[in-house]
Protein backbone atom coordinates (compact mmCIF):
# COMPACT_ATOMS: atom_id res chain seq x y z
CA UNK A 1 0.00 0.00 0.00
CA UNK A 2 1.33 3.46 -0.90
CA UNK A 3 0.03 6.83 0.20
CA UNK A 4 0.52 10.20 -1.40
CA UNK A 5 1.38 12.59 1.43
CA UNK A 6 0.66 16.24 0.72
CA UNK A 7 2.91 18.88 2.38
CA UNK A 8 0.38 19.72 5.10
CA UNK A 9 0.17 16.04 6.05
CA UNK A 10 3.87 15.39 6.51
CA UNK A 11 5.90 14.94 9.69
CA UNK A 12 3.63 13.08 12.06
CA UNK A 13 0.25 14.28 10.76
CA UNK A 14 -1.27 10.79 10.54
CA UNK A 15 0.04 9.68 13.91
CA UNK A 16 -2.35 12.05 15.68
CA UNK A 17 -5.02 12.44 12.97
CA UNK A 18 -8.62 12.24 14.14
CA UNK A 19 -11.31 13.01 11.53
CA UNK A 20 -13.32 16.18 12.24
CA UNK A 21 -10.96 17.24 15.04
CA UNK A 22 -9.49 20.70 14.68
CA UNK A 23 -5.77 20.91 15.31
CA UNK A 24 -4.39 23.80 17.33
CA UNK A 25 -1.21 25.60 16.45
CA UNK A 26 1.62 25.24 18.91
CA UNK A 27 1.94 28.79 20.26
CA UNK A 28 3.20 30.37 23.46
CA UNK A 29 3.59 33.85 24.88
CA UNK A 30 7.17 34.81 25.47
CA UNK A 31 9.71 37.50 24.77
CA UNK A 32 12.08 38.06 21.88
CA UNK A 33 14.96 40.30 22.92
CA UNK A 34 12.91 41.28 26.01
CA UNK A 35 9.85 42.40 23.95
CA UNK A 36 6.54 40.53 24.35
CA UNK A 37 5.67 38.29 21.42
CA UNK A 38 3.51 35.34 20.44
CA UNK A 39 5.81 32.50 19.44
CA UNK A 40 4.69 29.94 16.85
CA UNK A 41 6.52 26.60 17.02
CA UNK A 42 6.95 24.49 13.88
CA UNK A 43 8.99 21.39 14.60
CA UNK A 44 8.87 20.35 10.94
CA UNK A 45 10.41 23.53 9.56
CA UNK A 46 13.82 23.28 7.94
CA UNK A 47 14.66 26.93 8.62
CA UNK A 48 13.35 29.61 10.97
CA UNK A 49 12.41 32.94 9.43
CA UNK A 50 11.82 36.21 11.29
CA UNK A 51 10.07 39.23 9.76
CA UNK A 52 12.53 42.05 8.97
CA UNK A 53 10.30 44.77 10.41
CA UNK A 54 9.78 42.90 13.69
CA UNK A 55 13.49 42.00 13.94
CA UNK A 56 14.46 45.67 13.70
CA UNK A 57 11.66 46.68 16.12
CA UNK A 58 13.03 44.39 18.85
CA UNK A 59 16.61 45.56 18.26
CA UNK A 60 18.11 42.61 16.38
CA UNK A 61 21.35 43.12 14.50
CA UNK A 62 20.86 41.66 11.02
CA UNK A 63 23.96 40.28 9.29
CA UNK A 64 23.12 40.90 5.63
CA UNK A 65 26.32 39.20 4.41
CA UNK A 66 24.75 35.76 4.90
CA UNK A 67 22.39 34.45 2.22
CA UNK A 68 20.22 31.37 1.87
CA UNK A 69 18.53 30.10 -1.29
CA UNK A 70 15.16 28.47 -0.56
CA UNK A 71 12.27 26.88 -2.39
CA UNK A 72 8.81 28.17 -1.59
CA UNK A 73 5.30 26.95 -2.24
CA UNK A 74 5.01 25.58 -5.77
CA UNK A 75 8.78 25.13 -5.88
CA UNK A 76 9.33 28.83 -6.55
CA UNK A 77 12.91 29.82 -5.64
CA UNK A 78 13.69 32.83 -3.48
CA UNK A 79 16.70 34.18 -1.61
CA UNK A 80 16.92 35.27 2.02
CA UNK A 81 19.57 37.88 2.67
CA UNK A 82 20.15 38.31 6.38
CA UNK A 83 20.54 36.39 9.59
CA UNK A 84 20.17 37.35 13.24
CA UNK A 85 20.51 35.90 16.72
CA UNK A 86 17.39 36.02 18.89
CA UNK A 87 17.13 35.90 22.66
CA UNK A 88 13.91 34.00 23.43
CA UNK A 89 12.53 34.01 26.98
CA UNK A 90 9.84 31.55 28.07
CA UNK A 91 8.11 31.22 31.45
CA UNK A 92 9.81 34.37 32.72
CA UNK A 93 13.30 32.95 33.17
CA UNK A 94 14.00 30.17 30.65
CA UNK A 95 16.29 31.80 28.06
CA UNK A 96 17.32 30.44 24.66
CA UNK A 97 19.61 32.00 22.07
CA UNK A 98 18.46 31.13 18.61
CA UNK A 99 19.69 31.90 15.07
CA UNK A 100 17.03 32.82 12.50
CA UNK A 101 16.95 34.06 8.92
CA UNK A 102 15.40 37.48 8.35
CA UNK A 103 13.20 38.57 5.42
CA UNK A 104 10.11 40.71 4.82
CA UNK A 105 7.13 38.41 5.41
CA UNK A 106 4.73 40.50 3.33
CA UNK A 107 6.52 39.17 0.24
CA UNK A 108 4.75 36.08 -1.14
CA UNK A 109 6.84 32.92 -1.13
Task: Please give the pLDDT value at position 2.
Answer: 39
Distance between CA 25 and CA 9 in Å, rounded? Answer: 14
Question: Does residue 66 contact residue 48 with C-beta atoms inside 8 Å?
Answer: no
In whole angstroms, what is the distance from residue 75 CA to residue 73 CA? 5
Per-residue confidence in pLDDT tens, the chain, 109 aa: 334 555 555 555 555 556 666 666 778 888 888 889 888 877 677 778 888 888 889 898 899 888 888 877 777 788 888 999 888 888 888 888 888 889 887 655 5
pLDDT value of position 89: 87
Task: Render 24-40 in DSSP notation, one character per residue.
Answer: PP-EEEEEETTEEEEEE
Cα gap 77→79, rounded to integer Å: 7
Amino acid sequence: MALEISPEESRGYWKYYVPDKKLKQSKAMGKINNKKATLLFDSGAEVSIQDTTFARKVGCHVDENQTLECEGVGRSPYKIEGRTRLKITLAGSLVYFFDAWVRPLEVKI
